[in-house]
Structure 1
Amino acid sequence: MSPCVASLDIVNSSKLTAAKRRKLLAIVEKCMQVLKQESKDLVYEISRGDSIQLLWKKNANEALRQCLWMHMMLLKEGFDMRTGFGVGSISLITKTLATSDGKAFQLSGRCLDAIKNTDNRIAVAFETEALNHEWTVHNIVLNYVLQRTTAPQAVAMALMLQNKTQLEVAKALRIKQPSVHQRLKAGGWVIIQSVVNRFQQIQQ
């Protein structure tokens, strides 16, 4: 299992009002608390409230699932983010992630830089070149989904990304299970699920 680094930027953060920025920061902090409960070794840093960096050293097989969950948590509240996601070795860990180094950090930064001025929302890169050929396709389909996800779809998929069943999602949202199924189908849940499963297979 290789360590993972995610570099996240909030889309159009400079245009947010003070009230929106406070709401965003509260959501981000809440997300970090949930992720820390799931992955005890997770290390993260928040800069200016609109840039976040995360490092998974051990429980890295869950890293992509957790990143996509965070995408959904923001989308359902009307925010959006870009993620540069690097999977590889770590050569230096310092007191701050900003000064740490290794292939995972380098790949994460490059991925984020590559999509900053595009409509893409996520780019995943591996230290192993053979995997990057495969993930060129996975990146395309992930972006296709994220660019089109509506708030109601994001609500349902966020819960599914926490390993809930459709019945549990229906109960949480106080809607019928067929309505959950429809949201997931329209939102491209089968794509998200397949890509997450493939990532977890690679990281075993």
Structure 2
Amino acid sequence: MLAVISADLLASSSYPKELLERVIQSLNREFNELEKLSAKDTKFQIYRGDSFQGVVHAPEMALLFALRIKTAINRLHLKDRDTNKAFKREADLRMAIGIGTSDFTRDSVLESNGEAFQFSGRTLDELKNENRKLKLRTSNMAVNGEFNTSFFLFDTLSDKWSTASAEVIYYLLKGFKETEIADELGISQSAVNQRKKAAGWDAIEALLDRYQTVISQEFVHGK
């Protein structure tokens, strides 16, 4: 069993050239960092300039990978890079996670096939016709129902993020402590804590824990 993440940028045709360039750079940088967390090649690849797909060989980690990619993009803005103020988000993603088997593996993720790839790709197509940004599909309908309800709530929460909120969540997902984030961003620890609470970190952390537990039980340990 493995997970496949398929995604595309929302309204990318309206992005200024500088923003699109920063998005592509950020995606490639994040793909390289996530590669180091995986025992096998994730094969994340950008195609058409505004879409990407990759493999997560530990499916219980797929949501963490997806949220790291999302927040890496949500935190971007074209304002003064030395400014740590909160701005309206300028870039966002639509993402689908598919968990299943892989029947045909090629060097390019775009040429690979199997249940996980089909689940992910078809679900991303469904998202284009829905007011949703994150969705899961597996062979287990109960698991799909639980997490797609939770992901709908997460969409509502994350839609309210500013770039500053997304940036704090990004570093928390990387395992940074509040003091380390404060040093990284050049702000006070209390400011980090305020942004953390405003972004709903406690709920996000609970969702990540629940996802890892259920996916491990259902698909990793062969329940």
Question: Residue 101 of structure 1 corresponds to which residue in structure 2?
Answer: 113
1:155: Cα distance to partner? 0.6
Report Cα offsets for 1:112-161 as digits up to 9, x if no partner.
11211443211112222221121132121221122221101001000000
Question: Residue 69 of structure 2 corresponds to which residue in structure 1?
Answer: 70
SS in 1 for 2:44: strand
Tell me the distance in 2 between the aligned counterparts of 1:118 and 1:164. Answer: 34
Structure 1 residue ranges (4+ consecutive) displaced by more than 4 angstroms after TM superposition: none
Question: Residue 142 of structure 1 corresponds to which residue in structure 2?
Answer: 154
Question: Residue 46 of structure 2 corresponds to which residue in structure 1?
Answer: 46
Report Cα offsets for 1:60-97 as digits up to 9, x if no partner.
32221121011111011031111011112222212322
Q: How does 1:1-204 map to 2 (within 5 A)?
A: 2-41=1-40, 42-57=42-57, 59-77=58-76, 78-204=90-216
1:46: Cα distance to partner? 1.0
SS in 2 for 1:91: coil
Tell me the distance in 2 between the aligned counterparts of 1:80 and 1:14. Answer: 12
TM-score (ref. length: structure 2): 0.84
For the Cα contact (< 8 Å) 1:121–1:147, is it kept in 2?
no
Out of 63-72 and 151-160, give the one that drifted further: 63-72
SS in 2 for 1:203: helix
Q: CA RMSD in A?
A: 1.7
Out of 149-158 and 119-128, give the one that drifted further: 119-128
Tell me the distance in 2 between the aligned counterparts of 1:62 and 1:181. Answer: 25
SS in 2 for 1:39: coil
Question: What percent identity do the matched residue pairs reach?
Answer: 26
SS in 2 for 1:43: coil
Tell me the distance in 1 between the aligned counterparts of 2:182 and 2:17. Answer: 34
Aligned amino acid, residue 24 of structure 1: V
Aligned amino acid, residue 154 of structure 2: L
For the Cα contact (< 8 Å) 2:43–2:108, is it kept in 1?
no
Tell me the distance in 1 between the aligned counterparts of 2:131 and 2:159. Answer: 8
TM-score (ref. length: structure 1): 0.91
Tell me the distance in 2 between the aligned counterparts of 1:124 and 1:168. Answer: 32
1:40: Cα distance to partner? 4.2
Aligned residues: 202
1:170: Cα distance to partner? 2.1
Q: Which runs of 5+ in 1 are unaligned?
A: none
Tell me the distance in 1 between the aligned counterparts of 2:178 and 2:18. Answer: 34
SS in 2 for 1:8: strand
